[in-house]
Structure 1
Amino acid sequence: MHSVQCDQSKKALRRMGYQFFHPDSSAALKPCLWCKRSLSGGDQCYKNQFYGITSHRCVQFTPTLRCNHTCLFCWRSFEHEYTGEKDLLPQEIVSRIPFLQKKALGGYKVSPKVTKEKWEEALQPDQYAISLAGEPTLYPHLPELIDLLNQTGGTTFLVSNGTMPDVLKRCHPYQKYISLTAPDRETYLRIARPREDYWDQVLESISCLGHETDAGDRTAIRVTLVRGINDQDPEGYARIIQESGAQFVEVKAYMHVGYSQRRLTIKHMPLHDEIEHFTKRMLPHLSYRVLGENTLSRVICLERVS
């Protein structure tokens, strides 16, 4: 029964565009919307605006689909969570990235919107976003995987929920993101719906950002606001952020897409003006300045000034 359920989950995820690294592993790759738009000559992700990342040369993947959160705002599918797992070695993942990225983008090669130059660039990725789905720190070889990717000459972004601070201290991506889903424990438990209470671990991970274990690395905190659920107490968010050493903070609106539509309504999605207002209420309590904003993605990026 377990095997049948895993097979059905994988089939559903493949229909969504997931490319799996191995039949017995949930490690998967899937180019994001912005990668495909950039490849076709369209807009790029806000990470291009804020951090200089070229979207069509970015690989989005995860070493595991396991997660210890079930966040209300997550667009990923808990309904098709893949529980069968073989943890691949880092080299097994890195060696198959070029093949799977080319396979995932294969249909774009013949598109009249895709130039030969961009197509060739897309097949030579220089950015690896470990952010597709799942919680990557639950993969036992994550520090080694990041080290191996760093050796390719490309940049690495790691997005984590912060529940495994000891693992995060051993990871040295180009940029380390930690999600801050709430200003307090009660709100965290309501919106993140964790398998157990990891609030103290999340606070530890955030407080460690930018300190000795991150020497030479860039660090960021991501705040995703859901109207009426976690969009209160900007001062509380600011206190947690200020005590960290994070270089950047992204304050972003929840987007009503994917499987989150089964848990939330479109009324939970803040307007960009609301994100702007919330950020302005945080700023007096922070040693940060506004680096930029992207109204299409409803996100404002802050940068530490001292």
Structure 2
Amino acid sequence: MTFTKEEQAKLEYSGYRFVGEHGHAAAKTCHWTRKSIKNEGVCYKEQFYGVKSHRCLQMSPAVPFCHQKCSFCWRDLSQTRTEWEGEYDDPKTIIEGAIKAQNNLLCGFGGNKKADRKKLEESKRPTNAAISLAGEPTLYPEIDELIGEFHRQDFTTFLVSNGMYWEKLGSLENEPTQLYVSLDAPNEKVYNELCNPQIDDGWGKLNKTLELMPSFKNNTAIRITSVKGKNMFNTDEYAELINKADPTYVEVKAYMFVGSSRKRLSMDNMPRFHEVNDFAKEIADKTGRELTKYSEASRVVLLE
């Protein structure tokens, strides 16, 4: 069982396009993809890592499934299942469908005078898969093969994980180009309050993933979603966890007051850029890292 027709329709209304037969995979055009096509700015991932915004495919193979119900998640969490249920589509079907869905979503730019014709043409052949749209991608039974198939089709891959399924991450034969692990709390108490794990020992599982991260050959990143009044403190504890994971990058990013998170948090929980920057600097000082790049528009800071 995945989404009901009503649940799926609600997500499609907000810009999702489900692909395949079984209703668990989807693509959604990123705000920055559309901006880039009109030469009105690019995603911080282009500024930080060189990923071309107009050629980035934002997708997920596991939209209905996640181990956590984070209070800062923009999704309607009443729809989330914590374990995989039912049949699933194969990686080739998902990738083909996601590319087609993105092209359909962007076809309106053909009549837009502001569209950069070269970028619009290039956007039809995306080169990076941001496997991060919604849900926990490691719950998709064929995540390893999905990454491998993207690579065979000359994509780079950015896989974003909550770190709960450390066994799956540890057994990947196809490493993503960059593995992101969400670290949204300095300790177990804050983690339980903010991330609301739906499985036993979520904090222990996350720590196993942090211990595993140094074994990855490709780039790794820790992402901290900064929620004002909820998790922007105890930087000594964050530093200890980051040092254990020893990632290539640390991204410190503001929580954004959007979607269903507005029912769980308030506008006051969305930090300003200078607050994110100050928090990031404190973490940088305690981990021996440098603040190398930032995007004020996205309220995100990069530590290396």
Q: Give the TM-score range, shorter chain.
A: over 0.9
Q: Distance in 1 between matches of 2:242 and 2:253?
A: 15
Q: Distance in 1 between matches of 2:79 and 2:108?
A: 26
Q: Distance in 1 between matches of 2:247 and 2:265?
A: 30
1:282, CA displacement in angstroms?
A: 1.7
Find 2:28's aligned residue among 27, 30, 41.
30
Gaps spanning 5+ residues in structure 2: where?
A: none
**1:24 touches 1:84 (CA, 8 Å); kept in 2?**
no
1:96, CA displacement in angstroms?
A: 2.1
Partner SS, residue 59 of structure 2:
strand
Post-superposition Cα deviations, 1:17-72, rounded to whole Å, max 9, x if no partner, equal: 11111242221010111111111221111111100111110000000111111111
Amino acid at match of 1:205: T
Alignment of 1:202 onto 2:206: yes
Find 1:19's aligned residue among 17, 20, 23.
17
Alignment of 1:183 onto 2:186: yes
**1:162 touches 1:178 (CA, 8 Å); kept in 2?**
yes
Q: Distance in 2 between matches of 1:181 and 1:31?
A: 25
**1:25 touches 1:86 (CA, 8 Å); kept in 2?**
no
Alignment of 1:93 onto 2:94: yes
Q: Distance in 2 between matches of 1:193 and 1:246?
A: 25
Q: Distance in 2 between matches of 1:29 and 1:284?
A: 38
Superposition RMSD in Å: 1.6
Partner SS, residue 249 of structure 1:
strand
Q: Distance in 2 between matches of 1:28 and 1:77?
A: 16
The equivalent residue for 2:136 is 135
Partner SS, residue 104 of structure 1:
helix
State the identity %: 36
The equivalent residue for 2:72 is 73
Q: Distance in 2 between matches of 1:246 and 1:100?
A: 33
Alignment of 1:226 onto 2:254: no
Partner SS, residue 190 of structure 1:
helix
**2:284 touches 2:303 (CA, 8 Å); kept in 1?**
no
Partner SS, residue 293 of structure 1:
strand
**1:26 touches 1:84 (CA, 8 Å); kept in 2?**
no
Partner SS, residue 224 of structure 1:
strand
- Which residues in structure 2 correspond to 1:38-53 (within 5 Å)? 38-53=36-51
The equivalent residue for 2:245 is 244
Matched residue count: 298
Partner SS, residue 251 of structure 1:
strand
Amino acid at match of 1:246: P
Q: Distance in 2 between matches of 1:242 and 1:57?
A: 33
Partner SS, residue 300 of structure 1:
strand
Partner SS, residue 245 of structure 2:
coil
Amino acid at match of 2:208: E
Q: Distance in 1 between matches of 2:231 and 2:42?
A: 28
1:274, CA displacement in angstroms?
A: 1.1
Alignment of 1:255 onto 2:253: no
Gaps spanning 5+ residues in structure 1: where?
A: none
Amino acid at match of 1:126: T
1:124, CA displacement in angstroms?
A: 0.9
Q: Distance in 2 between matches of 1:84 and 1:77?
A: 19
